[in-house]
Structure 1
Amino acid sequence: MAVPKLKTWSALSHTKRMPTEYEIVTHRLHYHTKLGFEVDPDAPVAKWYRKYRDEAALQASDWDQFRDPHQMIYRKYTELQDDRETFIDVLLDEAELREDHTKLNSQWIECLAQMFTPFRYPGHGFQMLAAYGAQMAPSSYITNCFEFEAGDEMRRVQRIAYRTKQLDSYFPSYGFGTNDRKIWENAPIWQPLREAVEKLLIEYDWSKSFIAYNLVVKPYVDELVLVHFADLCRLNDDHVHVEMLGNFYLDSLRNQDWTIALTQFAIEQNPGNLSVITETIRRWKPLAEQATKAFRPVFEDMSPVNLAFDSVFEDINHTVSDLWRGAGVKI
């Protein structure tokens, strides 16, 4: 009896419908999850993936059933980010034409030098974490989410670097671009976050790295910087950075959506995953809180117009707790 020929998209035939563009370009791109690498099983790369991916703390019967709620693909991503990048281009060009920088208070300029421009250092760490998730994820559906998140983080770093050079050209005596690394490595406000980023970078289990970064550290930091530091910018008449940070926050919200979806999926696939997620959040939460609280002086001492940090921190905790509840996790 003749063997039926495989049809186009036969790998998706179980769906019993025409696959979407998203599924066609995303489905099962990782040949090595089933077949393994074509090397000695004891080769370092094979052992690494076996330990930190195949034997990871989170387990599911089929990770390829996960779907990004935004069904993001490269075409959609570049179109979306082209619009957002155009917005920032226009924002910065118009601000330069209006000479908005001449209206900034000198104390606020120093605050930007301490808080805003050094962020490209942890931002690059965030990009590395997302890239590691993309490298180690057990499904291309998950890998692509991480890849786009890495792109978001790199976009943020590049824009902050561009703005750093602008600020340096306006205010050469403040050390924009030249003092940033020293501030990142030594200023007390940054040290708890630096500790968190460095510890995250040596969490090699892909699933624990995902939980610690996407469900704990990143939400705390994004709410602190992209929402509440933006509020502080608004109070100090720095509307350029209000708009820029708000633009970055749109990326953060999209990443929260797939993070929630993947967490829910992991729990549905294997209820035992809930305890792993809960324990990992509890392990990293104190460090994320420390990293957030360290910035109290920025809000209450460094800026000309202050913002009560207790209410800021309470709001951040509330927002992050809502994120966990939405993902099906109670802490």
Structure 2
Amino acid sequence: MSASTAEPGTAAERSFPKPQFTDAEAGALEFPSSRSRSYNYFEPAKLRATTYEDVTFDVQPDPERHLSQGWLYGFADGPGGYPQDWTALKSVDWHRFRDPNEEWEQTIFRNNANAVRQVQRNLANAALADAYDSWTPAWSKFVERNLGAWMHAENGLGLHVFTAVQRSGPTNMINTAVAVNSAHKLRFAQDLALYNLELGDVLDGFQGSAHREVWQDDPVWQGVRRNVELLTAASDWAEALFATNIVFEQLVGVLFRSHLLMQIAARNGDYVTPSIVGSGEHDYNRDLAYTRALFVLLTRDDEHRDHNREVLNGWLRTWVPLSIDAARALQPIWSQPQERTVEFAESFDVALHGLRSVLADLDLELPEELNR
């Protein structure tokens, strides 16, 4: 061991390894906007990117865009993080989709909070104004059984269809829109549950638990229940989305909510239920907007339009008869209210027209059942 050369009373200078910085390619390259703090790694839909695009686009990784080395992770049976073969539909660029509602974290909380506050205000105002005093026993029974039963449909779709598939899409833009759809359904189901509890407190003889027996055993509702349960079993995420938002909602959901409840409630002295159901119908209109935008993109795809139309027409042949059967099974409830201002045939014709209109926008064939 060599003797120290430091002078007495002074510490010896110590040496440490020094980091060597090299110019990694990505950090060394100079390009336009190198020093800009604005994001331009994607092409915005308009002249400038919106906040929605900035916080949503490319959050979900994709080897076709930035992961040149392939997926960073994968499933045990082989496929990478977001396989495109989780649906039979194809696209030259799934990233072209933009949600026309531009939903992101802030809008999700803001819009749902506003809806909840409005429902709570409506219920509070109804109680103060004794709005339930004008309800007839027949209408009270109708709401008790049928609106309560519909709560199960909304909850089943939100929890077991949209929540189940909201991770399956190939881009974050798609999955965010589906996740918001799930939040809409679950919040509306919760609104109906709270409304059911409210009615149990203010209406004499209102059986708040009757909806369980109706959903499980009433023959009128078994077609709807079967349709919803089969939707929860669809393994293709795009098929589940298409069969729910395009077919089931048009033929059954809108039929029940808009073309029955919203039409006849006021004639039966009920001005409260339409305000609750209207919030759910507003949600669906927004969800239909993004669904329509997605499937228009696919049916007009530069390379895969013919393939996609063939697949979607096949799904129509499967799901349209099922939803028509569910709708027709509901026909008896049109005669239950004391004041019947609309006939089932009239309501059903309007629902069929709505579906025909959507399918025309998507350039799809009308199934035989819609041509009768």
**TM-score, structure 1 length as denominator?**
0.90
Is 1:150 aligned with 2:166? no
After superposition, residues 90-239 of structure 1 pair within 5 angstroms as 90-128=121-159, 129-171=161-203, 173-176=205-208, 178-228=209-259, 229-239=261-271
Any conservation in 2 of the 1:261–1:327 contact (CA below 8 Å)?
no
Gaps of 5+ in 1: none
Alignment partner for residue 280 of structure 2, among 245, 248, 253? Answer: 248
Aligned to 1:293: 328
Q: Percent identity?
A: 21
Taking the aligned partners of 2:169 and 2:218, their CA distance within structure 1 comes to: 35
Deviations 1:254-297 (A, max 9, x none): 11111111111011222121111122112100111111111111
Is 1:9 aligned with 2:39? yes
Task: Give the letter aligned to residue 308 of structure 1.
Answer: E
Aligned to 2:11: none
Taking the aligned partners of 1:192 and 1:218, their CA distance within structure 2 comes to: 14
Q: How many residues align?
A: 325
Taking the aligned partners of 1:138 and 1:156, their CA distance within structure 2 comes to: 27
**Residue aligned with 1:135, SS:** coil
Taking the aligned partners of 2:318 and 2:207, their CA distance within structure 1 comes to: 37
Any conservation in 1 of the 2:142–2:337 contact (CA below 8 Å)?
yes
Gaps of 5+ in 2: 1-24, 65-69, 367-372
Aligned to 2:100: 69
Deviations 1:227-266 (A, max 9, x none): 1221121221211012221222111111111111111101
Task: Give the letter aligned to residue 226 of structure 1.
Answer: R
Shift of 1:132: 2.1
> Highest CA radius of gyration, 1 or 2?
2
Alignment partner for residue 50 of structure 2, among 20, 34, 48? Answer: 20
**Residue aligned with 2:110, SS:** helix
Taking the aligned partners of 1:321 and 1:99, their CA distance within structure 2 comes to: 42
Going from structure 1 to structure 2, the CA distance change for 1:111 and 1:63 (only over 3 Å counts) comes to: same
Taking the aligned partners of 1:152 and 1:323, their CA distance within structure 2 comes to: 21
Task: Give the letter aligned to residue 304 of structure 1.
Answer: Q
- Quick check: which one's helix share is greater? 1
Between 1:3-12 and 1:221-230, the stretch displaced more is: 3-12
Any conservation in 1 of the 2:71–2:80 contact (CA below 8 Å)?
no
Alignment partner for residue 338 of structure 2, among 291, 304, 316? Answer: 304
Between 1:74-83 and 1:141-150, the stretch displaced more is: 74-83
Going from structure 1 to structure 2, the CA distance change for 1:13 and 1:304 (only over 3 Å counts) comes to: closer
Alignment partner for residue 85 of structure 2, among 54, 57, 80? Answer: 54
Any conservation in 2 of the 1:136–1:206 contact (CA below 8 Å)?
yes
Any conservation in 2 of the 1:54–1:138 contact (CA below 8 Å)?
no
Any conservation in 1 of the 2:162–2:178 contact (CA below 8 Å)?
yes
Task: Give the letter aligned to residue 11 of structure 1.
Answer: Y
Any conservation in 1 of the 2:82–2:168 contact (CA below 8 Å)?
yes
Any conservation in 1 of the 2:250–2:352 contact (CA below 8 Å)?
no
**TM-score, structure 2 length as denominator?**
0.81
Any conservation in 1 of the 2:75–2:81 contact (CA below 8 Å)?
no
Between 1:129-138 and 1:75-84, the stretch displaced more is: 75-84
